[in-house]
Amino acid sequence: MIPSAVWRPFTQHAVEPNPPLIARAEGAWLTTADGRRILDAISSWWVTTHGHRHPAIMAAIRGATETLDQIIFAGLTHEAAERLARELVQVAPAGLCHVFFSDSGSTAIEVALKMALGAFRNRGEPRTRIAALEGGYHGDTIGAMSVGERGVFNAAYEPLLFEVERIPFPAPGREQSAYDALERAGRRGGLAALLVEPLVLGAGGMRIYKPAALAELARLARAAGALVIADEVMTGWGRTGTLFACEQAGVSPDILCTSKGLTGGAIPLAATLATAEIFEAHWSTDRSRTFFHSSSYTANPIACAAALANLAVWRDEPVAKRVAALAAAQEARIRRFENDPRFTNARTCGTIAAVDLKVGDAGYLAEIGPRLRAFFLSRGLLARPLGDVVYLMPPYCVTEAELDLLYDSIAEAPDAVGLAR
Ligand SMILES: *Cc1c(COP(=O)(O)O)cnc(C)c1O
């Protein structure tokens, strides 16, 4: 075999074998070049919502290529972006009425942070500090890493990262310390924004908190004069049971970031939505107040067409029903681990289910990831536990029988990878 020239993401090439070569994707399934089928239990890193290669989204992409490729989006516009912005404003939490397009979740976060600081600077208010939840994850560019949890993943880049106000995770029943920390951060002054993943910290281990806690954090941030930025990059598009997770808390953020499921997971696109106040803070005949951000592929017409098709799927197909059915199916199945001594902390939030493996020796934890992945793959399942957290975040087209395959394999996993009982 020809050695791969590819440097893969989050992959230690010295210890991980070459991955399967995927030749086809359809619905919840991937097929390798040599014909093996793999059930995608993690929606290909949380992007695929309806299923791989949804026909309407694929057709929209093909259709878009008949008329446009990339066109510069400063000084020119195109119909797909105009329509998509209007439609996003319609489905987003109230008050978000301007849409800035970029191309990844990390970029959407960078844009959000720049909007927040830009708005205060343009108003002559010296607010530059960001508060963020402990254990949060917002992407892997420098700004996004800065606001995320620090650890082995970003230790080498620490000198480049800016400081943030860390708010303890508002664990159910222990929310008060989060509230207190946010109030203290507010009193220190200069707080520009609270950035949160609403309801679920994704990469931080599928840690779930209550809508009421999100509402209280948003209230406290605003009481301190700060903006609320919702990172809905993972939680958006039905993952937590509602189109956006903020809805469950009755929170309308000042800025909302969306990406992953925005095109149904077909093609990269991101959007950062903002209120009129934030847009207007940049509105001026003074050119120095311009929002100085761009990426080459801003509002790519083909990606915008895919996102429009995704919105049409949400309107035309019973997606909300599928989401509710998947949520109920996950909830019913994760319970089997509640009294299993090898597991702890079985939980769900909408379509997301997670359970923690009991791993005695923390040093062993690092080794267990590749072994778990290999075990699941040997069963024809694509899963990627986060440390000791085994989670399922399948596309909404997954069937109950397919879920049973996944849950039966999770039940076998601890013994298969040699975790002591
Ligand atoms: C994945 C993710 C990001 C980063 O998105 P990319 O497209 O990978 O840059 C940001 N925030 C959250 C909550 C995410 O899950």
Q: What confidence score (pLDDT) does residue 3 get?
A: 78
Instruction: Using the mean position of ligand 1's atoms as its centre, give its distance from the Cα of residue 103 in Å.
Output: 11
Q: Give the per-residue pLDDT at 260.
A: 98
Binding-site annotation, residues: 45, 105-106, 137, 231, 260, 294-296, 384
CA dist., res. 95 & res. 149, Å (int): 29
Q: Is the pTM of the predicted complex or chain greater than 0.95?
A: yes
Do both 264 and 325 map to the same domain? Answer: no
Cα 413–Cα 415–Cα 421 angle in degrees, nearest 5: 125
pLDDT at res. 420: 61
- Residue 390: name the closest of 340, 346, 351, 331 by CA: 346
pLDDT on residue 367: 76
Compute the distance from residue 198 Cα to the ligand 1 centre, in Å: 13
With respect to residue 48, please indicate whether it lies within any of the assigned structural domains.
no
Which residue ranges in the chain fall short of pLDDT 70? 1, 362-366, 420-421
User: Does a structural domain hold residue 24?
Assistant: no
Place of tokens 């993690």: 42
Instruction: For residues 325 and 301, state if they share a domain.
Output: no
Considering the domain architecture, whether residues 163 and 195 belong to the same structural domain is answered as yes
Which residue's alpha carbon is nearest to atom 15 within ligand 1? 234
Q: What is the CATH number of the domain that holds 384?
A: 3.90.1150.10
Among 296, 316, 336, give the residue marking a domain's end: 316
User: If 0-12 CB within 10 Å is exposed, 13-18 middle and 19+ buried, where does residue 173 land?
Assistant: exposed
Task: Write the burial class of residue 384 (CB in 10 Å: 0-12 exposed, 13-18 middle, 19+ buried).
Answer: middle
Based on the domain organization, do 228 and 331 belong to the same domain? no
Q: How far is the CA of 247 from the centre of ligand 1 (A)?
A: 20
Q: Which two tokens stand for residue 5?
A: 């020239």
* CB-ligand 1 contact for 204 (6 Å cutoff): no
pLDDT in tens, 44-75: 999 999 999 999 999 999 999 999 999 999 99
Query: Which residue range(s) make up the domain with 368?
Result: 319-417
Q: What is d(CA 354, CA 293) in angstroms, rounded to the nearest whole number?
A: 37
Total Cβ atoms within 10 A of residue 221:
27
Pair 116, 192: CB distance under 8 Å: yes
Q: What does the pLDDT look like over 306-328, one tens digit per residue? A: 999 999 999 999 999 999 999 99
pLDDT in tens, 189-218: 999 999 999 999 999 999 999 999 999 999
| 233 within ligand 1 shell (Cβ under 6 A) | yes
- Considering its fold, how many domains does the chain have in total? 2
Looking at residue 192, what is its pLDDT? Answer: 98
Question: What is the reported pLDDT for 352?
Answer: 98
* Structural domain contains residue 14: no
The minimum-distance atom of ligand 1 relative to the CA of 141 is: 9
